[in-house]
Amino acid sequence: MTEANTLPSGRTRIDSLEMRGITKRFPGVLASDHVDFDVQSGEVHALLGENGAGKSTLMKILYGMYRPDEGQVLLNGQPVTIASPNDSINLGIGMIHQHFMLVPTLTVAENVALGLPSSRGLLTDLDRVSKRILELAAIYGLKIDPDAYVWQLSVGQQQRVEIIKALYRGAALLILDEPTAVLTPQEVDELFVIMHQMVKDGHSLIFISHKLHEVVEISNRVTVLRDGRKIGTRPTSEITKQDLANWMVGREVSFAPDRGNVECGGPRLQLKNVSCGSDRGTPGLRGVSLDVCSGEILGIAGVSGNGQRELAEVISGLRKSTDGQVILEGQEITGLSPAEITDRMLSYIPEERMRDGMIKDFSIAENMILREHEKKPYSRSGFLNLGEISRHADELIAQFHVKTPSRDTMAKNLSGGNIQKVVLAREIFRTPRAIIAAQPTRGLDIGATEYVRDQLLEQRRKGVAVMLISEDLDEILALSDRIAVLYEGRVMDIVPRDEATPARLGLLMAGVHPEEGAPVVK
């Protein structure tokens, strides 16, 4: 073994990995259709595609979670069989899953040791594991405390634990499945530094994402998948974001949605010093004051868990406030029931669309009248007007381009994008005065995302007051007129769109006021 093909972790590097003609059929779906994909030592190869394009299927095949129906995998030119995650781990392939595969109640060292043979036989050897973790952490510049419990760590730190876990198992090739989805901009930068270091040392990285600017920034090559087929592979330097987006969606995509100029009316939805608790019993909101004007989109930025959920629930009446006032069109709605708030024409697009926005086992037609089912024309003296409900459903399905076999299809059988269209249709059709949209595009692909954003902008044009709660900074920046940043239940600052930059918002999201002499990065 020469110095050149050994990684700093001591593991032999993987010079090349090639997937050839990979085909995977699920009942009724061709999830992967003769896809070729390869990655070399020392490169980041981005895998780009919409939801359902086959990225995950391909990677699950590589990681041994699915067996392909056709095709083969070659490692350094030699065919290999990968029948389980254990096989891929033994071959030096590691995967950082989008939803971290960590046990929160265990320590970092315990998480790393889990499933591995111990040097002490039946007994654990956590002291040795910790020592090795610190060695690896030093080599790769990952700060980590082996004795910390995972639940104590930030999301960025948990991701580092995942990376250490893979390195500890000797990963020479790492699959990173949407690793930036949960990170703040600063944490993304830190991750990219780590990725650059790993690539320089000879690791191979596969980077799955649908955020184009990240793909352009970090990858050497990019492969686009659509509908289970490979559209193409190009060196990143030779392709533009616009091309990539068009490849992904299969048609021309507009990036900067046309915001147009809208005259802001007076404040329509106001919060005055609102406080409330959270599910954990800790304060959820601590004295939040905000105005949303008619014809305005107010973006609410922040790292997940800083009061966004509580904010949406307090306004829509799902959560009781402990202090302060919520005012809609000059009338106080604090403490009213959700039904009463609905009657005052406030619409709510909830974050968990499957849990809070839908009844999974109801038909689309039924889901579309959930809010108004007690009102004419959908019901009369307690009896549902089924004819009117069907007509209404057909109208909305056509108007909002919901892809569904019929209005009687169960909501649970729709894709995420179509479910969100049903929710949007229900919430928008009633011509609300204000809309609270919580993470409205999370998990949606580019096409559906574009549609949802256009609809929100359309509402803004109609003079509706829109509050957009999103953890996606790009979305906040693309849609908002003003941006409020939540941190630990407080509004850190409210920044006009023109003055907002990812760096500034990122600092606010981390609880730092740039003005207050905090270390502003470069």
Partner 1 sequence: MISELFSVTVLIGILASGIRLATPYLYAAIGETFGQKSGVLNLGVEGQMLLGSFVAFYVALTTGNLWLGLLAAMLVGAIMGLAMAYVTVNLHAQQGISGIGFYLFGLGMSELLFQRFMGTVETVKGFPKLYFPGLSDIPGIGEIFFNQNILVYGAYLLVPLAWFVLNKTTLGLKIRAVGENPDAADSLGVSVARIRYFTIILGGTLSGIAGASLSIALLNVFQQGMTSGLGFIAVALVYFGAWRPVGVLGGALLFSLVNSLQLWIQVLGIPIPSDIAVMMPYVLTILVLVATVSRVRAPSALTKPFERGD
Least distance to partner 1 from the beta carbon of 166, Å?
10
| 398 in contact with partner 1 (CB under 8 A) | no
Stretch 60-89 residues interacting with partner 1 (CB under 8 A): 60, 65, 84-86, 89
Comparison of 66 and 348: residue with beta carbon closer to partner 1: 66
Nearer to partner 1, 64 or 317 (CB): 64
| Closer CB to partner 1, 101 or 521, in the complex | 101
Sole window of 118-126, 321-329, 369-377, 451-459 interacting with partner 1 (rule: CB under 8 A):
118-126
480 binds partner 1 (CB under 8 A): no
Cα angle value 177/181/182 (rounded, 5°): 115
| Interface segment toward partner 1; rule CB under 8 A; list 95-103, 232-240, 368-376, 429-437 | 95-103
99 touching partner 1, by CB under 8 A: yes
Alpha-carbon distance of 12 to 92, in angstroms, equals 8
List the one residue from 74, 80, 114, 359 that touches partner 1 (CB under 8 A). 114
Of 32 and 334, which CB lies nearer to partner 1 in the complex structure?
Answer: 32
CA separation for the pair 309, 348 (Å, rounded): 12
User: What size, in residues, is the chain?
Assistant: 522
With CB under 8 A as the contact rule, the residue among 10, 104, 235, 265 that binds partner 1 is 104
- Enumerate residues 6+ apart whose C-beta is below 8 A from 48: 55, 208, 209, 210, 212, 215, 222, 223, 224, 225, 244, 247, 248
Smallest gap from Cβ 56 to partner 1, in A, equals: 7
How far is Cα 450 from Cα 444, in angstroms, rounded to an integer? Answer: 9
The kind and range of the H/E element at 24 are strand 16-26
**Alpha-carbon torsion 114, 119, 122, 123, what sign?**
negative
522 counts as binding partner 1 under rule CB under 8 A: no
Return the number of the residue (119 or 240) whose C-beta is nearest partner 1: 119
The binding track of 14-53 with respect to partner 1, each residue x by CB under 8 A or -, is: ----------------------------------------
Min. distance of Cβ 437 from partner 1 in angstroms?
27
Cβ-Cβ contacts under 8 Å for 226 (sequence gap 6 or more): 49, 50, 53, 247, 248, 249, 250
Q: Does 431 bind partner 1 (CB under 8 A)?
A: no
Are the beta carbons of 371 and 342 closer than 8 angstroms? yes
**Per rule CB under 8 A, is residue 106 in the interface with partner 1?**
yes
Residue 156: CB minimum distance to partner 1, A: 18
Looking only at the bridges linking them, the beta strands covering 434-438 and 465-469 are parallel
Shorter beta-carbon distance to partner 1: residue 60 or 371: 60
Among 41, 56, 420, 441, binds partner 1 (CB under 8 A): 56
Backbone angles phi, psi at 80, to 5 degrees: -130, 155
What is the signed CA dihedral for 225, 202, 99, 278, rounded to 10 degrees? -130
- C-alpha 320 chain-centroid distance: 28
Considering the rule CB under 8 A, would residue 122 count as an interface residue with partner 1?
A: yes
What is the residue type of 150? V
User: Which residues, numbered 131-190, are part of the site for partner 1 (CB under 8 A)?
Assistant: 165
> Would you count residue 105 as binding partner 1 (CB under 8 A)?
yes
Tokens of 59: 């990677």
According to DSSP, residue 152 is labeled G
Q: Which two structure tokens, joined as six digits, stand for 460? A: 């803004």
Q: Is 95 in the site for partner 1 (CB under 8 A)?
A: yes
Which CB, 56 or 308, lies closer to partner 1? 56
Rounded to whole angstroms, the Cα distance separating 179 from 181 reads 6
Spatial distance between the Cα atoms of 418 and 410, rounded to a whole number of angstroms: 12
Candidates 21, 36, 103, 520; binder of partner 1 (CB under 8 A) is: 103
| Distance of alpha carbon 264 from alpha carbon 372, whole angstroms | 29
The least distance separating partner 1 from the CB of residue 138, rounded to whole angstroms, comes to 24
Q: What is the DSSP string of 400-414?
A: TT---S-TTSBGGGS
Q: Is there a contact between 484 and 298 (Cβ–Cβ < 8 Å)?
A: yes
Looking at the Cβ atoms of 84 and 501, the one nearer to partner 1 is: 84
Preceding omega of 502 cis (within 30 degrees of 0):
no
Distance CA 189, CA 181 (A): 13
Site size for partner 1 (CB under 8 A):
29
Contact residue for partner 1 among 83, 123, 256, 398 (CB under 8 A): 123
Phi-psi region of 484 (alpha: psi -120 to 50; beta: other; left: phi over 0): beta
Output 72 or 86, the one with its CB closest to partner 1.
Answer: 86
Quick one: 114 or 477, whose CB is closer to partner 1?
A: 114
- At 86, list the tokens: 């254990």
Closest distance between partner 1 and the C-beta of residue 431, in Å?
38
Stretch binding partner 1 (CB under 8 A), from 99-107, 262-270, 284-292, 448-456: 99-107
> What Å distances lie between residue 65 and 90, 301, 447, CA to CA?
14, 36, 28
Decide: is 124 part of the binding site for partner 1 (CB under 8 A): yes
CB of 85 to partner 1, least distance (A): 6
Residue 413 in the binding site for partner 1 (CB under 8 A) = no
Contacts of 43 (CB under 8 A, 6+ apart): 199, 204, 205, 220, 221
Q: What is the DSSP letter of 279?
A: T
Minimum distance between the CB of residue 86 and partner 1, rounded to whole angstroms?
4
Using CB under 8 A, list all residues that contact partner 1: 56, 60, 65, 84-86, 89, 95, 97, 99-106, 110-111, 113-118, 122-124, 165
